[in-house]
């Protein structure tokens, strides 16, 4: 399992549109993926779960990834979060 603390850099936080894109990215991987804030841990492939965390800008969360493709999944998702939920080409 890979656990990484990451800060949500998007000023609007994780709102529905960015959460949907995040879920699309997370769903590409067979690994189990969770986001954790304080005592709350949710499936990062669940829109309701992600939105229930109420993640605003400049919030620190833990990304936990476990599975066969955990290294690449963790790297891509951390990069996406730190890029403010924007694709970088």
Judge contact between 8 and 55, C-beta under 8 A: yes
- Domain membership flag for residue 87: no
Cα–Cα distance, 76 to 11 (Å, whole number):
20
Domain that holds residue 25: 2-82
| DSSP per position, 13-81 | -S-HHHHHHHHHHHTTSSSEEEEEETTEEEETT-HHHHHHT---TT-EEEEEEESTTHHHHHHHHHHHH
User: For residue 21, which of 71, 66, 85, 65 has the smallest C-alpha distance?
Assistant: 85
- pLDDT: is 35 or 83 the higher one? 35
Query: How much is the pLDDT for 10?
Result: 86
- Domain membership flag for residue 89: no
Q: For 18-67, what is each residue's pLDDT tens digit?
A: 999 999 999 999 999 999 999 999 999 999 999 999 999 899 999 999 99
- pLDDT: is 85 or 55 the higher one? 55
CATH classification of the domain holding 35: 3.30.1340.10
Q: Please give the model's pTM, rounded to 2 decimal places.
A: 0.89
Number of independent structural domains in the chain: 1
């Amino acid at each position: 399992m890979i656990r990484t603390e990451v800060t949500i850099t998007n000023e609007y936080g994780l709102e529905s549109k960015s959460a949907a894109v995040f879920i699309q990215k997370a769903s590409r991987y067979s690994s189990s993926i969770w986001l954790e804030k304080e005592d709350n841990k949710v499936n990062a492939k669940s829109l309701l779960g992600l939105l229930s965390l109420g993640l605003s800008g400049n919030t620190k969360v833990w990304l936990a990834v476990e599975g066969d493709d955990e290294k690449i999944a963790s790297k891509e998702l951390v990069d996406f979060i730190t890029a403010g939920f924007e694709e970088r080409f």
